[in-house]
Amino acid sequence: SYHLPGISLTLAPFFFFTLSPPLLYFLLRSFLGLFGALLAVLVYLFCLRLWPSRSLAIFSTLVFSLSAPIFFFSFHIFPEVQAMLLVLSALYLLFFKAGENEQASLWAGLLLGAAIFWGVKYALFIYPVCLGFCAYWLWNKRFRPALLLLAFPLLFQAMFFFYLHYAYGNFSPNSIYYGMLSPAQAGAFYDTILKKITLNMRWETLLDYFFDQRDGLLLYNPFYFFAFPGLLLALKNFRRYRLHLLAILPALLFVFNHAFLTIRAGYCPQGRYLAPVTWALLLLVVIYYRESRNPFFKKTLLLLPLYSLFVTAYQVVQPFTLYQPTTHDTLQRTGLLFLQWSNSRIDLPVLLPSYI
């Protein structure tokens, strides 16, 4: 497998038990759900730190945890929830603990650096966060927390590159996915990435993440639509939200990188490539709620989770509506969920967007 060992190590205890498949699957999914529960607690703590409103923190945490994409990825064997837990835990320590206790930066580095073993793509969080905080501390002549933060990420990166050279004879992270490429193959690969993939294909991939009827997050959880006006309001009030905007920069980089490479989701629940950045979407939604002066849209924001929770309940009962790939070899454009909601007069898949 080209997957890195993080998720396998998490599930290692189950390798030592001989259990019937139904019981094994139940215990395994329950165990994975613990990481989702820890993530919910962490989001709640973040909300309380950012906005001193317990009701808003509870509301935000419930919507985050019980709707797409986090609810379903919490008990599927995918690395997104565990990697997000590592990254967010590191950010919590760096923002709220490292100023009081320099040792917190060491533990933050441990959590952040370990995320590389859940996927190469999480380097897009590791590098910007480490560089950003180190630059800030060095600017303020605080050398010790900067060194402590870098210790584990540098160690884990060295281990990772040693593995790449040992297994593939090079230091290219692409070897994880494509194996050992000859110079001619590597040249053809980069030529395809940089020249043959059109701008329209990259743009459609980005739209697919949000609006496609098979995989687009906003059709299954429109609550996060308010992240877009939330971003505009955060930019409008830049002085007040400059740290919030800096915090979500790695999330933006993550999404745009995947869209640029036209990476699409396979047989998995909706919103896989937005799942690691759902915390950033939630942050922008809450900013919109606090800054907007439009009572109608604020009330709509509070009511939309009812639809999102209904979709979650429906997909629990109809699980095949979850697994709808949008990869480049997929020809089926119809979203099964909306096909089931259609009738002889209203054909929802015809009305809804598709980017296949």
305-319 pLDDT tens trace: 999 999 999 999 999
> Can you give the chain as a three-state secondary structure string?
CCCCCHHHHHCHHHHHCCCCHHHHHHHHHHHHHHHHHHHHHHHHHHHHHHCCCHHHHHHHHHHHHHCCCHHHHCCCCCCHHHHHHHHHHHHHHHHHCCCCCCHHHHHHHHHHHHHHHHCHHHHHHHHHHHHHHHHHHHHCCCHHHHHHHHHHHHHHHHHHHHHHHHHHCCCCCCHHHHCCCCHHHHHHHHHHHHHHCCHHHHHHHHHHHHHCCCCCHHHHCHHHHHHHHHHHHHHHCHHHHHHHHHHHHHHHHHHHHHHHCCCCCCCCCCCCCCHHHHHHHHHHHHHHHHHCCCHHHHHHHHHHHHHHHHHHHHHHHCHHHCCCCCCCCCCCCCCHHHHHCCCCCCCHHHHCCCCC
State pLDDT tens for residues 241-263.
Answer: 999 999 999 999 999 999 999 99
Answer yes or no: is pLDDT of 37 > 90.
yes
Span of 62-66, 167-171, 347-351 with lowest mean pLDDT: 167-171
pLDDT above 60 (res 196):
yes
pLDDT tens digits, 74-128: 999 999 999 999 999 999 999 999 988 999 999 999 999 999 999 999 999 999 9
Give the pLDDT of residue 347: 95
At 132-150, the pLDDT tens digits run 999 999 999 999 999 999 9
Global pTM reads 0.95
Query: What confidence tier does 1 reach under pLDDT thresholds 50, 70, 90?
Result: low
pLDDT at position 293 over 70: yes
Average pLDDT, the chain: 94
